[in-house]
Structure formats: C-alpha cells, structure tokens
Structure 1
Amino acid sequence: MPSKLTTVLAVGGVAVITSNPGSGMHALVQEHQMGILIEAENQQALNDGIAAAMSQDTTQFSQNARRYAEQHLSLEGVMRGYEQLLLTC
C-alpha cells in the first residue's frame, strides 16, 4: 500500500484511487469501501472520480477508511495480526 494512502486512511480522508479490477489494491479498497476506485491510466475516469469525491456524501468512505487504518495499520493492529500469525504456526 502506498505510504501516502495509509496517511489518508489514518486521518479518515477520502481517497480517489487509481487501480484496475483484479489487482490487490482494487480488491482491498472495494472490500472495505474505503475510497473511490477509478480505472488507472484513464484521465476521464480520474476527472469523474474527483468530481464524485467533491459532490457526493463521502462520510461512509471516511469512516471506513479510519476504521481500516485503526484495525490494520496502527501499531496495535499490526502487532495483533503478528501475534495471531505466530499462534497459527
């Protein structure tokens, strides 16, 4: 995950993410509904994604982004995951 994206998620920001279906990033963002996904290398899709971010209610994206960061990207979340991994070995 790009480091700038982790910061956006941590503050509960709304990310416009260029990622194509089939990629790990696309699946992760879609599963957790934590950003606006747009097709990579598509200027019109980028324009539309930015317009959507500015015109629609993005509260749910913000809440989901913050929740994901707290559960998976915080020190506590990472250590919890590491501990669970150790217990399964």
Structure 2
Amino acid sequence: MTQFLADVLPLVGVPDPGIGTPPPGSEKLLTALGWATWIVTGMCVAGVMGVAARMALIHHRGEGGRHAVGLAWVMAACVLLGSASGLVSALLS
C-alpha cells in the first residue's frame, strides 16, 4: 500500500494554494479561533474527567459497563477536535 501511494502521489501532485495575502482583520479571527481551541480543549479534558468520576462512582456501587459509551463519545469528540484543521484543509483542497 505504501509503495502504491509513493507511485501515485507524484503523478497526482499536491495543489499549491500559494502564499496569498490575509484579509484585513484576520488577526482578530485567528485570536478568536485560538480562544475557541483553548475552550473546547478544556471542555474535552473536563469531559474525560467527568467520565472518570462517573466510572469511579459506578464501580463503587457495583454497577458496570454503562460508562464505556460516555467515554467513547468524549474520546470521539477529542479526536474530532484534534483533527479539525486537517479535516477542513482536506475538504477545502
């Protein structure tokens, strides 16, 4: 598979959007995106901590298994957050 990709990718080529000039006011947009990234990352960490606390409570009560779904959703959100810029870049190219 790796050899196939190595053979095909040079033929297809990678699109070069160029350097371009950012529009006026783009600094404020980048600042807002930076804040949003920090807030959402904090929410993901809080979500994992919340699931961990719920896991401890459920284990203490002797119940089990229901926390796995919550952890899966939180981890899916973390993966989506981590790959957000890559996904958007792939969609735009």
- TM class, shorter-length: 0.3 to 0.5
Structure (1 or 2) with the greater helix fraction: 2
Higher strand share: 1
Q: TM-score of the superposition, structure 2-length normalised?
A: 0.31
TM-score by length of 1: 0.32
